[in-house]
């Protein structure tokens, strides 16, 4: 091939061949790069897909394939008043004349228009197997029959009256309509879905009655607002029913053309047998496969992601859908149903994208835009139809004028025709003769005839009139028939007047449109299938979570999890506990607390920031699982670590009356309003400014007048009242606070507690402690209670200052007992004791505090793990660095002086250490007697007894610590 030769560049994209000859040298042509050729060719292909295949037209709401199917069936006579015809015949007509694609694509489109669960108003009336909502395939087209549905006539009527433009088909052998003269907004009624090149459409179906009413309202008031339209069309109406949750997504879609509409299945809880319930689903979201839905539910049940379901069966029949999900006896039906909504397609979101062709261009439109485009198109249809009808009526009137002339001059007409040798000559003679025009002058004015010209009172017939006279039957010459001709002329005159009025008046065209819309409304109106629920729209994901108490565990390496509290059964003091968390390497548990699933939890980081999350958002895991990394739960945490976790009161209405007290390891404290932290973004919020090397050890909620209690690692404690003078409310969050306790070398704060302030003098508190301790010892002696461990009774400083002879009245004693709080102090070796809060005097902020515990031996403890307020009737949990956890009632821990060494609470192994202790605020169940299978060990083994040689010995399960007098809890 030499220079100057011509080559043929052939590019095939998506089944379309694009070719163009190009010269090899730019002698008389410019060279085209492959990038430019690909760009232009691909753009042409994309526009072809957008305009000719994938997107519906806003005027009739149909894609080309649907339009061609309906038009071909009408042309073939497969209308609703005719018998059914084989689907293969209709498909063949469409494929051969208008749609040059595979028969499967045509048949699939035809099948969809016949499915009641796909179309809000069916356009094809099918007979045979056209599939099912379970996703079953339809029978082959040679086995099914179809015809146009009655509703399709409202899309096709008047198509032969020049109402729409036509275009050549693919081989220019036929003419096909560019659009159908739809009488109602089919785009909104049946919706559409399609994927083009670089764009897609997804329009939901709506109730035809509501859509037509909205169109009528806009015809009456073109300036109608969206709010007024939404009073008529509240939202989509899916053929499968269901419940739309809220109106926010609907309004966004109607306003902008884009939005997300959450749809939920209709389900009810029924009692199928005694004490056995089932969830019965009668409606499912639009475009959800019922069989696939049941398989998904079964898979989730097998994977134990949804628990409480015992059986699933489909009881659907001709009367309607009915899927029965039978529940286990102990399952909570509402919770299971909410889980099904969350994890299955019983609840979906319909993504609205109202993209359609408007004047040949793709455009995203809102509700008002779609209705305006339809009204504009429908007015044009009425206008074109009126012009067509006017021409037809005028043509008829023109022929009637010739007939009137012939009847008036019948003898001459007959003589002329009889003398003519043939029909052509007779026609020419009729046209050449001048006829008297007296009788037809008013008729010509009546029908606005422009074909005849009157000269000197005479008129010449046109060729059409001459042919009409020759075709005149003899019976039309009778007197009766002559009257009929005159009557027909009058009707023609009235019709012409009406059509001229339509052509000349916009108001009249709107009246015609209103009449036709009312006719379509009467034929197509059906009740609404989909309910719109404002209440469900306000629900959050919390409704999917069963309420209950959870144990939240955080490890040193930053793993967090929540575990249902009921998993941990109560054990007696001295038990061996159970494994609480699986550890990775040398990871240890550093934080544990219990909270309700619907409580807010604040996470305070080492960098002084605070994050907020609800408990149910935290990952749930088994007791032995390690949980999930905090960096995954709080992605904005970065390199910081969580140092303090604070569960807030579940009732948010109480937040306005609460403050937050911050305490750092260096002994600083600060008070802020809780409302300062109400709005916390996902990236966190600066909570407190920290000095270098300092960290938050605790944050607690408090109220004015309560007391702050700080306990240190080296067994020091301080208590001071919360007042504006002692600890003022800080306005900002960037302060480092003020000194709360003065620490010794190597010491740091380990616990922050909030205690109720009691108005009692030093003498009263000391006297109360002496009387209360005496009563407790008396009760213990009466029950012959002997402790396994040595108990050190040390008289407090305040008790020494009180007179040994002093006493309180019984009334005052009971009053102080009712306000008494007991503090549990636990050491790292598993020892602990309870002491009265009265044993800690209220002092000023910033002092060195009091002694909190005496470590008589290293076995009793080296460091204080925590001091927390407790009361009889609750349990506490202790977690060790090896992941073991024990839960025990605080009533089994003796009340002693604040300097007592305590008793064994948790029997540890080797170098194992207690890392944290926290209260369990829940009533014990029937298993709190220590007889459950989780009680690994209730008595001491021989090595344990040998280790405790020289100390009073008794088994931990042989006795129970007596309760304090009434009011001391």
CA pair distance 537, 248, nearest whole angstrom: 8
Hey, how many other C-beta atoms are within 10 angstroms of the C-beta on 369?
17
Considering only CA atoms, which of 959, 574, 623 is closest in space to residue 781?
959
- Alpha-carbon separation of residue 309 from 264, 280, 325, 393, 563 (angstroms): 20, 12, 7, 72, 21
The answer to whether the beta carbons of residues 166 and 176 sit under 8 Å apart is: yes
Q: To which residue do tokens 């008494």 refer?
A: 820
Q: Residue 648 contacts by C-beta under 8 Å, 6 or more apart in sequence?
A: 599, 600, 601, 602, 655, 674, 701
The answer to whether the beta carbons of residues 672 and 727 sit under 8 Å apart is: no
CA pair distance 27, 938, nearest whole angstrom: 103
Catalytic-residue membership of 286: no
DSSP string, 238-283: -TT--EEE-SHHHHHHHHHSEEEEEEE-EEEEEEEETTEEEEEEEE
Q: Which of 71, 84, 98, 143 is catalytic?
A: 143
Q: To which residue do tokens 């540890």 refer?
A: 908
Long-range contacts from 38-41, C-beta under 8 angstroms, 24+ separation: 38/11, 41/11, 41/13
Q: SS3 of 372, please?
A: helix
Angle between helical axes of 64-75 and 103-112 (0-180°, round to 10): 90
- Alpha-carbon separation of residue 766 from 30, 708, 771 (angstroms): 108, 20, 9
In the beta sheet, which residues pair with residue 550?
564, 595
Cα-based angle 283, 287, 292 (whole degrees, multiple of 5): 80
Phi and psi, residue 643, nearest 5° = -105, -25
**Pair of tokens at residue 878:** 């202790």
Buried b (16+ CB within 10 A) or exposed e, 231-262: ebbbbbbbbbbbbbbbbebbbbbbeebbbebb
Angle between helical axes of 463-470 and 423-432 (0-180°, round to 10): 130
Point out the residues that are catalytic: 143
């Amino acid at each position: 091939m030499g220079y100057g030769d011509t080559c043929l560049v052939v590019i095939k994209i998506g089944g379309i061949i694009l070719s163009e000859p190009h010269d090899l040298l730019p002698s008389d042509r410019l060279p085209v790069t492959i990038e430019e050729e690909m760009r232009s060719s691909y753009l042409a292909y994309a526009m072809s897909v957008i305009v000719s295949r994938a997107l519906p037209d806003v005027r009739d709401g149909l894609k080309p394939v649907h339009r061609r199917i309906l038009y071909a069936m009408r042309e073939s006579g497969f209308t609703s008043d005719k018998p059914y015809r084989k689907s293969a015949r209709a498909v063949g007509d469409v494929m051969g004349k208008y749609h040059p694609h595979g028969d499967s694509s045509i048949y699939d489109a035809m099948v969809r228009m016949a499915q009641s669960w796909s179309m809000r108003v069916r356009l094809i009336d099918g007979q045979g197997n056209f599939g099912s909502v379970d996703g079953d395939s339809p029978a082959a087209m040679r086995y099914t029959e179809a015809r146009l549905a009655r509703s399709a006539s409202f899309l096709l009527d008047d198509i032969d009256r020049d109402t729409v433009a036509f275009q050549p088909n693919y081989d220019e052998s036929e003419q096909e309509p560019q659009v159908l003269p739809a009488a109602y907004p089919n785009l909104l009624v049946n919706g559409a879905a399609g994927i083009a090149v670089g764009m897609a459409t997804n329009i939901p179906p709506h109730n035809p009655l509501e859509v037509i009413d909205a169109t009528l309202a806009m015809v009456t008031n073109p300036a109608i607002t969206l709010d007024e339209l939404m009073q008529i069309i509240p939202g989509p109406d899916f053929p499968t029913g269901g419940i739309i949750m809220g109106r926010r997504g609907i309004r966004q879609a109607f306003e902008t053309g884009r939005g997300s509409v959450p749809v939920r299945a209709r389900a009810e809880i029924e009692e199928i047998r005694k004490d056995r319930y089932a969830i019965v689903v009668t409606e499912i979201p639009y475009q959800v496969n019922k069989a696939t839905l049941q398989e998904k539910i079964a898979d989730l049940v097998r994977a134990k992601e949804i628990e409480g379901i015992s059986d699933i069966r489909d009881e659907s029949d001709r009367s309607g859908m009915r899927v029965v999900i039978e529940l286990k006896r102990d399952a909570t039906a509402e919770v299971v149903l909410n889980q099904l909504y969350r994890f299955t397609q019983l609840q979906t979101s319909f993504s609205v994208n109202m993209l359609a062709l408007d004047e040949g261009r793709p455009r995203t439109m809102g509700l008002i835009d779609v209705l305006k485009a339809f009204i504009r198109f429908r007015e044009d249809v009425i206008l074109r139809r009126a012009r067509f009808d006017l021409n037809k009526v005028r043509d008829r009137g023109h022929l009637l004028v010739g007939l009137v002339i012939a009847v008036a001059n019948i003898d001459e007409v007959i003589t002329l025709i009889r003398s003519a040798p043939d029909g052509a000559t007779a026609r020419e003679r009729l046209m050449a003769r001048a006829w008297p025009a007296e009788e037809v002058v008013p008729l010509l004015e009546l029908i606005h005839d422009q074909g005849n010209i009157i000269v000197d009172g005479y008129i010449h017939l046109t060729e059409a009139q001459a042919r009409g006279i020759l075709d005149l039957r003899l019976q039309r010459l009778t007197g009766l028939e002559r009257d009929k001709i005159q009557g027909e002329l009058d009707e023609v005159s009235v019709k012409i007047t009406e059509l001229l009025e339509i052509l000349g008046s916009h108001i009249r065209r709107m009246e015609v449109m209103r009449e036709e819309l009312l006719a379509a409304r009467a034929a197509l109106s059906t009740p609404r299938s989909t309910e719109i629920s404002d209440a469900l729209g306000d629900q959050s994901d919390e409704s999917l979570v069963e309420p209950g108490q959870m144990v939240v565990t955080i490890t040193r390496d930053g793993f967090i999890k929540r575990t249902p509290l009921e998993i941990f059964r109560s054990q007696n003091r001295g038990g061996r506990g159970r494994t609480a968390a699986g550890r990775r390497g040398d990871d240890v548990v550093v934080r544990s607390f219990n909270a309700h699933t619907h409580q807010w939890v604040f996470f305070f980081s080492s960098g002084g920031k605070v994050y907020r999350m609800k408990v149910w958002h935290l990952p749930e895991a088994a007791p032995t699982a390690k949980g999930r990394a905090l960096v995954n739960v709080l992605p904005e945490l970065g390199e910081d670590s969580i140092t303090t976790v604070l569960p807030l009161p579940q009732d948010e209405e109480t937040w306005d009356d609460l403050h937050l007290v911050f305490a750092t390891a260096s002994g600083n404290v600060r008070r802020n309003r809780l409302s300062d932290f109400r709005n916390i973004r996902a990236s966190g919020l600066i909570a407190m400014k920290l000095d270098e090397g300092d960290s938050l050890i605790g944050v607690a909620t408090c109220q004015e007048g309560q007391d702050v209690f700080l306990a240190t690692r080296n067994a020091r404690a301080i208590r001071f009242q919360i007042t504006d003078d002692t600890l003022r409310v800080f306005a900002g969050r960037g302060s480092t606070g003020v000194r709360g306790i003065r620490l010794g070398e190597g010491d740091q704060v380990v616990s922050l507690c909030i205690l109720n302030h009691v108005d009692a003098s030093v003498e009263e508190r000391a006297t109360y402690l002496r009387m209360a301790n005496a009563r407790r010892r008396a009760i213990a002696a009466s029950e012959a209670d002997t402790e396994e461990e040595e108990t050190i009774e040390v008289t407090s400083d305040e008790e020494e200052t009180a007179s040994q002879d002093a006493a309180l009245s019984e009334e005052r004693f009971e009053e102080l007992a009712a306000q008494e709080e007991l503090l549990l102090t636990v050491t790292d070796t598993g020892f602990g004791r309870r002491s009265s809060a009265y044993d800690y005097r209220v002092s000023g902020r910033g002092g060195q505090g009091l002694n909190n515990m005496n470590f008589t031996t290293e076995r009793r403890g080296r460091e204080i793990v925590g001091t927390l307020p407790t009361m009889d009737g609750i349990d506490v949990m202790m977690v060790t660095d090896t992941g073991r956890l024990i839960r025990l009632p605080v009533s089994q821990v003796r009340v002693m002086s604040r300097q007592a060494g305590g008793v064994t609470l948790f029997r540890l192994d080797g170098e194992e250490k207690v890392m944290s202790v926290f209260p369990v605020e829940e009533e014990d169940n029937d298993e709190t007697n220590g007889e459950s299978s989780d009680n690994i060990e209730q008595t001491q083994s021989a090595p344990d007894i040998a280790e405790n040689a020289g100390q009073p010995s008794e088994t931990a399960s042989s006795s129970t610590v007596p309760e304090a007098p009434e009011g001391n809890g």
